[in-house]
């Protein structure tokens, strides 16, 4: 049987990479893609998602549902300094599909309906702020019991932020939503945190080979990643963020884990929550190693992965 996925995105460059990896895998069935604000405002997220589906010739995949446009309580923030103002490297695309192709049903009800139609079979891959997921559990409190698993790109383990002093972007963009999801989604939960993705980044030599493939997909990816690649290769970014190791496609780690059960080679199980009140630590993921929180549900936090498998997924996604 194919693995059934719902993908919740704020489509910037790394979300695009994750979507393309999923669509290229013959063992995966993408039931739907729900969109959320995040890397860029929701209108751009919707447009970017359609652009990815178009280049993959997969506009048949319930082409995007409009989800939440702002956080539950936090002030809005975006990642235009890294992904570009439009979230996809600010590359003009006169042939971009129009938003009329979007599903009419809203993103959160669509997510709930798709899970209820496939109880116990759906893995939810969340690569955006967790607002849609937090609202979904308000609509259906039993939703986590019907999920096969939840895969999240977000949070951090070493108090090392990429947006605030101690906070990773997806969790900082909506800390209350992240708190709700980590507290109430009791299905098997896998987390690809920020520092982990930095330590498992892809060599620049591989990226050159990956983007030099002779295909429309490769040309598309080369164009949209140009801005973020330059940013990622800057001396300042390499020193402070990825420790000089290579290109970090954050969201794709959560996707790869959802697709391939053996992708994760080392992990730890620990109860997690999110700090909501700290001046410097709001949005930071907290790991309860001393089990002081009394939480029964523990998340599986990724530590190392099979990079050769990831490279193969990346290569196949652009063929």
Active site members: 10
Beta bridge partners of 247: 202
Q: Is 277 helix (H, G, I), strand (E, B) or coil?
A: coil
The answer to whether residues 185 and 150 touch, using CB atoms and an 8 Å cutoff, is yes
User: In this structure, how many other beta carbons lie within 10 angstroms of the beta carbon of residue 17?
Assistant: 25
Integer Cα distance of 133 and 107 in angstroms:
10
Q: Is 228 helix (H, G, I), strand (E, B) or coil?
A: helix
Q: How far from each other are the two terminal CA atoms of the chain, in whole angstroms?
A: 24
- To 5 degrees, how large is the angle CA 223–CA 226–CA 227? 125
For the chain, list the strands marked E by DSSP.
3-9, 28-35, 65-66, 122-126, 147-153, 189-192, 264-270, 272-274, 285-287, 299-305
Integer Cα distance of 21 and 317 in angstroms:
5
């Amino acid at each position: 049987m194919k693995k059934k996925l719902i993908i919740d995105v704020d489509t910037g460059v790394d979300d695009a990479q994750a979507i393309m990896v999923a669509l290229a895998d013959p063992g995966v069935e993408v039931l739907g893609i729900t969109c959320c604000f995040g890397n860029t405002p929701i209108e751009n997220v919707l447009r970017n998602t359609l652009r990815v589906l178009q280049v993959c010739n997969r506009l048949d995949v319930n082409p995007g549902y409009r989800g939440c446009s702002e956080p539950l309580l936090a002030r809005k923030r975006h990642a235009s300094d890294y992904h570009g103002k439009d979230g996809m490297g600010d590359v003009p695309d006169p042939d971009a599909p129009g938003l009329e192709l979007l599903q009419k049903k809203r993103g959160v009800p669509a997510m709930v309906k798709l899970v209820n139609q496939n109880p116990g079979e759906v893995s939810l891959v969340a690569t955006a702020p967790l607002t849609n997921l937090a609202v979904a559990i308000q609509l259906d409190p039993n939703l986590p019991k019907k999920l096969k698993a939840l895969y999240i790109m977000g949070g951090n383990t070493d108090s090392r932020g990429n947006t605030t002093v101690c906070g990773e972007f997806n969790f900082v963009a909506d800390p209350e939503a992240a708190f709700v999801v980590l507290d109430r989604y009791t299905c098997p939960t896998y987390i690809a945190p920020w520092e982990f993705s930095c330590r498992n980044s892809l060599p620049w030599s591989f990226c050159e080979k990956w983007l030099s493939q002779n295909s429309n997909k490769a040309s598309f990816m080369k164009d949209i990643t140009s801005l973020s690649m330059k940013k990622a290769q800057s001396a300042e970014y390499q020193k402070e963020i990825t420790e000089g190791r290579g290109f970090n496609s954050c969201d794709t780690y959560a996707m790869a884990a959802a697709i391939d059960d053996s992708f994760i080679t080392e992990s730890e199980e620990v109860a997690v929550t999110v700090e909501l009140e700290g001046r410097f630590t709001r949005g930071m993921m907290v790991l309860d190693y001393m089990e002081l929180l009394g939480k029964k549900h523990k998340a599986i936090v990724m530590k190392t992965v099979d990079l050769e498998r990831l490279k193969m997924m990346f290569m196949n996604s652009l063929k």
